[in-house]
Structure 1
Amino acid sequence: MKPSEMITVFEDRTCYVNLTPEQTKELQSFERIWGSQNFIVRSDHRVLLKKYVGFVASKNLQIQILPKIFRDGESREIEAEKEHSIQLLFRLLTYSNYLKVKEIPTPKMVSKYQNDILEIFIAIFIKEFLNQFKVNVHRQYEPIEENTQFIKGKIIFQKSLLRNRDLNYLHYVIYEEFTEDTLLNQIFKTTIERLLRITKIAENKKRLKTGLLYLQHVQTIKLNQTIFDKIRFNRLNHQYLPLFNLSKLFYYNEQAGMSNGDEYTFTFLVPLNELFEYTVYKALKGLEEYSVLYHKPQKYLDKKNKAFMLKPDITIFKDGKVETIIDVKYKNPIHGIDVNVSQADIYQMLSYSLAYNCKNIILVYPMFRINNGYINPLGKYEIETENGIVKITIIHVNICRDNLDGILNDLMEYLKI
């Protein structure tokens, strides 16, 4: 694959991109990933991609979709926004534990790799590989079967009789050999070779070639799901688990309609709202004396007919009672100078209150940079019901901080605990 320039768009923002006819055709082939309601490619080269962030790198097209944090419209600070958005994406991936390698790119690193998240992923992968293999090349005992004059290990008599009927000097044997040509190393080598074909950064190429030198006695294989499923980790090889997870990330095209392991396509797409939800959940998970549940418990609003399933984002319990329900949405609640919460969102919160007998509901949004002058709460509603007053509080949290404690601090004042 000939590397092409990475095109950047922002999730849920109409962006102008100058695509060739081949790139347009390839981009349109990914509509099945997003769904037609989240995917618009217009004839005037304007593109709107919703729901997912990440990248797609195919034969003629490399496009990355970043979370927007500056404003809804076109930004005049596009390079600065790319840098901050990439840092935010990796921060969310790390906080949510989606990315097992705990490395958040610095501004210098983001700039060094040309604001390209695929190149940053490659850099993180090969750096982790070289760090591990400089200290300890992975080796283990592997079963070897061969037909030989020398007896070692155990003779497999049935195969020996079938293969060596008139060759009494040969024996079909099985034995174990301490080797670096392990299945795990074969996965790493195959991944490195594929990454070498797609990277555009000289330093990544250099490091990937060094990685191949480390694995020069290891064979490459055809990757598939069965190969990955065969790998088991124990105390002797657990240090390679983060590297293995990154290899899986590069292999799997997990979105519907994409063929696994397509050698011409790298896909990493994550639903942004779910990533933000889980980050907020992780920030709250350490609350002492409280039980914090994610997407649980699920209930039917109409229990008798089992209709209208409810699945709150985050539920906080104490002594078996629901104290607070938190709904998380990655969108800008401030339009112009006004905070606007949709009626549908308020009705959804009232449904939660009714089904879970909860009087404290919090709607959580990310703090867009243009909104950092707005203090919490952004809004408070008190709605009278037959069961009492339901309090709905609207807040935004600063997700550009360097740790999860900041998000927890933003929330603490409004939790009924």
Structure 2
Amino acid sequence: MKSSHRITVYEHQALYVGRGEPSLTQKQLEALQSFHGEGLPYYSLIHNGVKFCEYVGVLQIGNTVIEILPKADKATGNSSTEATKWRDLLIGMLRAVGGFKIESPSHSSLRIRHNSILDLYVALFLTEAETLLHQGLTKQYRQTEGNSTSLKGSLQFGKHLQQNLTHQERFYVRHNIYDKIHSLNQVLHKTLRLLNRINTNADLHSRIGALLLNFPEMPDVAVSDAFFERITYTRKTESYRTAIEIARLLLLNYHPDVRKGQNYVLALLFNMNLLWEQFVLASLKKHKPEDITLDSQVKRDFWKPERGNKSQLRPDIVINADKMYCLVLDTKWKNRNGYSPQSDDLQQMYAYLSYYNADRAILIYPGNTNEMQEGTFYDTQGKLSDKTCSLISIPINPDISEWQKSIARQCLFII
């Protein structure tokens, strides 16, 4: 197991070489610089450092683990208490939108969550793999061909003559085998081999080694988005679903360093703006009355050029679309701190009101206190119209369940 250097930062925070706390080494900066041009949109390069953006989670480059946490207030400092608060919040939000397939915060895998969200995903995968191995890995039929001392299946006559002209005791045949070598088990084994190379958590090292020791050897398998999309589950293989979902996340976000072989990248990062949108949507779905409809990303055609693709409007959430008391909601992961919203946001909300024939538009922010502010748009004659936009700030609550209830109360009481 390799030792690691761990750094905890917050979204939109910068890291510099030899400056500030935490800071980067020159080698760490060079590793980040070398991968900046490889399609990783998680940070930008600045003078003698990097600046992170709206992505949160874990970025591991070689033996350096950078944990990027969300933060929606102006509190300063990187104390362990502050980091724990936002790490727990991120885990709770991911759990609420389905990022973690766990039912309770007391789940044994959560004991290591103080290290990083990457360790939590690894621990969850190991728990699933251990369960599957204990229950017995499933077997499936697969087709194979080669020389055999007995005639079984179908004789491949051309290859038989080519290889066995002087070996009359052998037959080149194609036949089915019922064993554990199939794509699901191959993915699990491939993920365990990857974790054995990159894991830096001492608490997980022995579990990875024990699984590899007891797992049957598997041929390697090439994975891609298309590969995972083709996977189907049956009654016998449904128990693999969670492990395969985590394996997909780990394998597809691993970028090997083909030049030096040392500074590989594993990026388990989530767009915080999108996560906030999904979290608000999940909260509303969980607590909405039955007579209210809820839709996300409802598209309306907006503009058609002479050539090329048309433009569309697509608000985050629409309540009671095409019905009475239609509301259009847009989520913004930023603390307003009493300031007015940006003009672009208001113009966007005005367009939503018109194109969705909505009664009201709502901008939803995280905040420090419950706050609701009403605003009215002017019409083309310079007079106040009947089109309104509400600004709702909802205080962050470490109790995720209570936070979701608060979001639903604030957003749905207007109807």
1:296 Cα deviation after fit = 1.2
What corresponds to 1:411 in structure 2? 408
| Aligned equivalent of 2:55 | 52
State the partner residue of 2:96: 95
Structure 1 counterpart of 2:223, one-letter code: N
Q: How does 1:182-221 map to 2 (within 5 A)?
A: 182-215=182-215, 217-221=216-220
What is aligned with 2:252?
252
**Closer, same or farther: CA 267–34 of 1 in aligned 2, 3 Å:** closer
The residue aligned with 2:279 is 279
Q: Distance in 2 between matches of 1:348 and 1:90?
A: 31
- Matches of 2:179 and 2:107 in 1, distance apart? 41
Q: For residues 255-306 of structure 1, what are the alpha-carbon distances to aligned partners after superposition, in whole Å with 9 as ceiling and x for unaligned? A: 9x999xx993212122110111112112223542333221212331x56878
Measure the CA separation in 2 of the matches of 1:307 and 1:359: 26
* 1:28 alignment partner, SS class: helix
How many residues are aligned here? 397
- CA drift of 1:57 comes to 1.4
Deviation, 1:149, is: 1.3
CA contact (8 A) 1:34 1:49 kept: no
Alpha-carbon shift at residue 53 of structure 1 (Å): 1.1
SS of equivalent residue, structure 1 residue 285: helix
Task: Give the gaps of 5 or more residues in structure 1.
Answer: none
1:25 equivalenced with 2:26 (yes/no): no
Show the 5 A alignment for 1:89-238. Answer: 89-97=90-98, 99=99, 101-102=101-102, 112-215=112-215, 217-225=216-224, 228=228, 231-238=231-238
Task: Answer with 271-280 or 342-351: which moved more.
Answer: 342-351
Give the letter for the 1:93 counterpart.
L
| Counterpart Cα distance in 1 of 2:145 and 2:5 | 47
Q: Indicate conservation of the 8 Å contact 1:83/1:107, yes or no.
A: no
Aligned partner of residue 134 in structure 2, secondary structure:
helix
Moved more, 221-230 or 320-329: 221-230
Match of 2:387 in 1: 390
Within a 5 Å distance, the mapping from 1:357-368 to structure 2 comes to: 357-367=357-367
Amino acid at match of 2:293: S
TM value normalised by structure 1: 0.83
Counterpart Cα distance in 2 of 1:90 and 1:231: 27
Answer yes or no: is the 8 Å Cα contact 2:297–2:316 preserved in 1.
yes
Task: Determine the structure 1 residue equivalent to 2:296.
Answer: 294
CA contact 1:294–1:314 (8 Å) conserved in 2: yes
**Hey, what's the Cα distance between the residues in 1 that align with 2:356 and 2:364?**
19
The one-letter code of the counterpart of 2:28 is Q
CA distance in 2, matches of 1:39, 1:208: 34
> Residues 11 and 51 of structure 1 are in contact (CA less than 8 Å); yes or no, is this contact kept in structure 2?
yes
Deviation at 1:240, TM superposition (A): 0.2
TM-score (structure 2 length as normaliser): 0.84
Moved more, 352-361 or 25-34: 25-34
- Determine if contact 2:360/2:389 at 8 Å carries over to the other structure: yes
One-letter code aligned to 1:375: N
Indicate the percent of aligned positions where both proteins have the same amino acid.
25
CA–CA distance in structure 1, aligned partners of residues 34 and 251 of structure 2: 19
Q: Deviations along 1:83-135, whole A, 9 cap, x unmatched?
A: 222222222222222x2522676699667454322222211111121123212
User: Does structure 1 conserve the Cα–Cα contact (< 8 Å) formed by 2:328 and 2:361?
Assistant: yes
The question of whether the paired residues in 1 share the 8 Å contact of 2:299 and 2:312 is answered with: no
* CA offset digits 1:175-195 (Å, max 9, x no partner): 333322332212211211211
Secondary structure of 2:248's match? helix
Cα separation, 2, equivalents of 1:176 and 1:131: 28
* Cross-structure match for 2:64: 61
Query: How far apart are the structure 1 equivalents of 2:404 and 2:118?
Result: 28
CA distance in 1: counterparts of 2:322 and 2:114, whole angstroms: 51
TM-aligned CA distance change 1:235 to 1:243, over 3 Å:
same
CA distance in 1, matches of 2:221, 2:392: 49
| Aligned counterpart, 1:380 | 374
Change (3 A) 1:273 1:169: same
Distance 1:268 1:354, change over 3 A: same
Deviations 1:148-168 (Å, cap 9, x if unpaired)? 111233333343233323433
**Aligned-residue offset at 1:380:** 1.7
